[in-house]
Structure 1
Amino acid sequence: MKKPILIALAILVGTISFAQKKELRTAEKAIKNKNYAEAKSALNQAEAMKSDMSDKQKSQYHILVAEALYAQGTANNTDLDKAIQNLMMVGSDYQSESEMLTTTIENELLTKANNLYKSNNFEEAGTKFEQLYNVVPSDTTYLYYAAVSAVSGQDYEEALKHYLALNDLGYTGVAKEYFATEKETGKEVITDKNNRDLFVKAGEYIKPGERLTESKANEITRNIAFIYVSLDKKDEALEAIKKARADNPTDVDIILTEANLQYQLGNLDEYRVLIEKAIELDPNNIDLFYNLGVLASEAKDNDKAKEYYQKVIDMDPTYINAQTNLAALILGEEASLIEEMNGLGTSSADNKRYDELKKERTNIYKTAIPYLEAVLEIDPNSIEVTTTLMNIYRAIPDDANYKRLKNKIEELQGE
């Protein structure tokens, strides 16, 4: 009685095997005819029988799914992600087909990613670079470019995800590059070894050489710290900054970032130590003193901010942002005076106090004038600064300068 059961089981297994092969053949034929919808339908039916497939059939199934979803480069991002996942599951039985499709997808994605980045479509460029990394996980440079794209598009959460992954992978970006000097122009050219050697042999390039590129490890550590700061994740930021400083102890930007963070955390002594360290490391850096002015201003230390901005102006009188910011700080002092003036009554004491405050406000205006005039010398077409200065001359009053700037505004607005 057992023999018929065994025969029945054998027939069932044979039927399943035949059905598997039929659906895979149908999908393969449809893909050759570029009928990807039919291929997907056949593969959906084959998926239900996947557990009964041999390893070779599973590899065939995955390569066909990848080809059907990729659809010769017409896939949307969702289908392309699935295609890549299936491509990674293809075994050695279909290695050549897998390598061929991998190369095709890599070339197509690289072209798209570069074009998207050049056209400032950073979000989509980042997606393509991430897909490139998924296609070729051994090339971590693609993941680095996905991070760079995310930063350029100000998607800091996405950038952080990529940078942390790169950090965990120990990515440095160090690679050997080949260079030579173009004989006609005298300019250095970086290219691959074969092309360089061909041009050297042809006599068009001279002085060939090779070298290692700089490591990007420090940049990645620093960017992780900066992104945590921008995302207001103070604890993570402080930890990342400590690591960044350990890797880059003389990087002034990192020191300033930590100084700003320490101030936000209320650690004023640490803040001052870091500021002094930054100045010690780069005492002639005009941008450093400007940034220190910005930091001091954000910290509401206006006297220190003025000192730093004045230092910048002394170093370079044409540094327009320092002139503008210093004028703004000075003019900002009138707010408390105006508030007190508006709150005064009509008594003789109040009238006397009003006159005192009015004189103080006039002095504030007069102190700001040289900086605003300096801005106009650098940027004579600034309507905003011209208007501010005109209103100051009207308030002082200084009729001659008021009329001069009023006429200038009319000219600028008439252009």
Structure 2
Amino acid sequence: MKSKYVILASALLISVATFAQKDQIKSAEKALKSGDAQGALTILKDAENMVVNAKDVEQAQYYFVKGNAYLDLANKKVEEGKNLSLAAETYKKLIDVEKASGKVKYSTQAAASITEIKGKLINAAIADSQATKHADGAKKLYDAYLLDKKDTINLYYAASTAVNAQDFDLALPMYEELKKLNYSGKGTSFTAVNKISGNEDGFNNGKERDLAVKLGTHEKPKTEAIPSKRGEIYKNLALILVQKGRSEDAKKAIADARKANPEDSSLILTEANLYLESKDYETYKKLVGEALQKDPNNADLVFNLGVISANAKNTADAEKYYLKAIEINPNYANAYLNLAALKLEAEKPIIDEMNKLGTSAKDMKRYDVLKAQREGVFKGVIPFLKKANELDPKNEDVAKTLLGVYKALEMTAEAKALKATMN
């Protein structure tokens, strides 16, 4: 007899709890409608422990109101990033509950809100980056990726933004995930200029873009190939691993990448740069040679060979590579600058010898010879410095070096003209 009373009492307690929970959800809805989103969340927090045992319909309603409250706070710019993520997380719980129960009431609206949140997260991330809050932007882009893992470009941008923030602990797992996904980002972009806004709009495919042009809303259609980002991804992953003292992991990451993508020549460069960072110049030269076989007109590669040769005090090879880089790309400013710097190194031994000379007739005669040699060095670098200055007029070091050469050669008119451009 006593056991029946116990069962009856338990049933009564559950019933009371259910009614209390319903009332709390209604109160939270009322608070939200009156504009008090924070108050709504406070009310719902009291019902948090009971929601697990509630009916599916009530659970869905609870998550719906809670998600709306978080979104309302985000829309009011109250901890925007955090509340957008919490809203999306809550809506996903709602969708899971209704999917399991088979009763759909709020899921359609929740899914639309998730799409809205994704867009808001991306826009907020862009604003963060423009305000140089790169770490905040990276986290928001990663949250946008978690909302829609098919849109892997958001993961790529999250990792890149984390690197801009110099937050390598944040960037590393993102790059590791990109590697796991074998993400490349290679594709084609279809754009056209919006006649009203004047902005260049993107389209999902050429058909959509061409239709917009045909309808007269857009003009100047453009189709561009988007190159693979795989090389950049593995390069950044490797460099982060190197910085963390994990150089063997970095080498393995590149080796794995090259096995998975044998046709991606950018990965050879990434591996070469890894060995360059670790000052293994022989392996670097071997890999660069391999890359040059695939891409013989890559001016950057040739230029880097010049840098390595110069560091190894192999002046003849360095000059050869710098000239080759200029031959491939006549507007390669750094090649002209490095070539000038290389040639100016010949001045030091001349100056050292001049400083040791005395005032005897023999020494004075030798001084004149050395002075002529020095002038020859200066005259030889003028064309390269002038070209470097022409290509990179904002580079003060180039202008100052050229000015110094003009003064040493007593080229007063040229020095005066150059100085006028520097002021």
- TM-score band by shorter chain is 0.7 to 0.9
Q: How does 1:151-230 map to 2 (within 5 A)?
A: 151=163, 157-171=169-183, 190-191=203-204, 195=208, 219-220=229-230, 222-229=232-239
Taking structure 1 as reference, are residues 61 and 48 closer, same or farther at Cα in structure 2, changes over 3 Å only? same
**1:209-234 CA-partner distances (Å, limit 9, x unpaired):** xx9x9898x53365123442255342
Moved more, 332-341 or 160-169: 332-341
CA contact (8 A) 1:337 1:357 kept: no
Residue 45 of structure 2 is matched in structure 1 by 44
Whole-angstrom distance in 1 between the partners of 2:4 and 2:181 = 58
Paired residues, what number?
398
Whole-angstrom distance in 1 between the partners of 2:330 and 2:214 = 53
Q: Which amino acid aligns with 1:102?
A: I
Whole-angstrom distance in 2 between the partners of 1:367 and 1:139 = 57
Whole-angstrom distance in 2 between the partners of 1:174 and 1:301 = 39
Q: Which amino acid aligns with 2:83?
A: D
Normalised to the residue count of structure 2, the TM-score between the two structures is 0.73
2:342 aligned counterpart, secondary structure: helix
1:379 aligned counterpart, secondary structure: helix
Residue 269 of structure 2 is matched in structure 1 by 256
Among 89, 92, 113, which residue is 1:88 paired with?
92
Whole-angstrom distance in 1 between the partners of 2:35 and 2:207 = 37
Taking structure 1 as reference, are residues 158 and 324 closer, same or farther at Cα in structure 2, changes over 3 Å only? same
CA contact (8 A) 1:387 1:409 kept: no
Correspondence 1:374 to 2:378: no
Taking structure 1 as reference, are residues 328 and 358 closer, same or farther at Cα in structure 2, changes over 3 Å only? farther
Q: How does 1:233-244 map to 2 (within 5 A)?
A: 233-244=246-257
Whole-angstrom distance in 2 between the partners of 1:174 and 1:347 = 68
CA contact (8 A) 1:122 1:150 kept: yes
Residue 26 of structure 1 is matched in structure 2 by 27
Q: Which amino acid aligns with 1:96?
A: T
Q: Which amino acid aligns with 1:7?
A: L
Percent of counterpart pairs with the same letter? Answer: 29
Correspondence 1:411 to 2:423: no
How much does 1:309 deviate? 0.9
Gaps of 5+ in 2: 195-200
**1:192-218 CA-partner distances (Å, limit 9, x unpaired):** 68856865986999xxxxx9x9898x5
Among 268, 279, 293, which residue is 2:292 paired with?
279
CA contact (8 A) 1:327 1:368 kept: no
Normalised to the residue count of structure 1, the TM-score between the two structures is 0.74
How much does 1:87 deviate? 2.0
Whole-angstrom distance in 2 between the partners of 1:388 and 1:149 = 36
Whole-angstrom distance in 2 between the partners of 1:313 and 1:236 = 36
Taking structure 1 as reference, are residues 223 and 314 closer, same or farther at Cα in structure 2, changes over 3 Å only? same
Q: Which amino acid aligns with 1:47?
A: E
Whole-angstrom distance in 2 between the partners of 1:51 and 1:79 = 22
How much does 1:325 deviate? 0.8
Residue 8 of structure 2 is matched in structure 1 by 7
CA contact (8 A) 1:63 1:86 kept: yes
Q: Which amino acid aligns with 2:258?
A: R
How much does 1:42 deviate? 0.2
Taking structure 1 as reference, are residues 379 and 166 closer, same or farther at Cα in structure 2, changes over 3 Å only? closer
Residue 128 of structure 1 is matched in structure 2 by 140
Whole-angstrom distance in 1 between the partners of 2:116 and 2:286 = 55
Taking structure 1 as reference, are residues 166 and 16 closer, same or farther at Cα in structure 2, changes over 3 Å only? same
Whole-angstrom distance in 1 between the partners of 2:207 and 2:265 = 41
Q: Which amino acid aligns with 1:12?
A: L
Gaps of 5+ in 1: 183-187, 206-210
How much does 1:308 deviate? 0.9
CA contact (8 A) 2:389 2:398 kept: no
How much does 1:274 deviate? 1.8
How large is the RMSD of aligned CA atoms in angstroms? 4.7
